[in-house]
Amino acid sequence: MRTSNVRRNTKETKISVSLGVDGSGSYQIDTGCGFLNHMLELFSRHGRFDLEAVCEGDTDVDDHHTVEDMGIVLGEAFREALGEKRGIRRYGSFLLPMDEALILCALDISGRCFLQYDVEIPAQKVGTFDTELVEEFMWGLCRSLGMTLHFKQLSGTNSHHIIEGMFKALGRAMDQACTVDERFADEIPSTKGIL
């Protein structure tokens, strides 16, 4: 089983994450930010990742540090659980419809960080959540995991649907990329011999 336990304590957040890559999609999440909880639950269930996450953050300021740092720690958890990345498919993509929204997510667990964020979220807030923080979460995830990640919004007018489509598509694409290809289970999926 590919698992990890990561803790990160700063003056802004205290975070603990336990991840099971080869899971069933079970989750127990309390970040102090209700909308982020919901998105991580969707990510966990659709990616079939077992995820426990707890964050104590300075949400009296706003949710920025909590959201960005959760992305960072989740990326660290995947990096630790995947180890050398031996045998993984490495690439994943998913085209996900969420009512009127249609979101394309494509990624490469390459060891390199890049985010292409071709998404326009109409509302500045969903409930009390600042929608600009979705991009901050994705940057944190990409940087700490070492992942190239592309999002393209093909349609969508409802901000909640767009963001929900992104997290569901991310879970599905990550599931593909993290799956071990039994034909090459002992190989690193790169001509460099390292990822």
Distance (Å, rounded) from C-alpha 153 to C-alpha 169?
Answer: 11
- Per-residue pLDDT, 195: 86
- Per-residue pLDDT, 89: 97
The per-residue pLDDT for range 89-101, each reduced to its tens digit, is 999 999 999 999 9
Residue 106 pLDDT greater than 90, yes or no: yes
* pLDDT-based confidence at residue 152 (cuts at 50, 70, 90): very high
Domain boundaries, given as residue ranges, for the chain: 3-184
Mean pLDDT across 13-30 = 98
Identify the CA nearest to 54 among candidates 35, 75, 33, 72: 33
Residue 1 pLDDT greater than 90, yes or no: no
Which numeric CATH code is attached to 3-184? 3.30.230.40
Out of 10-14, 79-83, 89-93, 182-186, pick the least confident.
182-186
Residue 193 pLDDT greater than 90, yes or no: no
Query: Coil, strand, or helix at residue 177?
Result: helix
Phi, psi of 112 (to 5 degrees): -110, 145
Distance (Å, rounded) from C-alpha 61 to C-alpha 100?
Answer: 33
Prediction pTM value: 0.97
Identify the CA nearest to 96 among candidates 168, 178, 175: 168
Burial 69-84 (b: 16+ CB within 10 A, else e): bbbbbbbbbbbbbbee
Mean pLDDT across 56-71 = 96
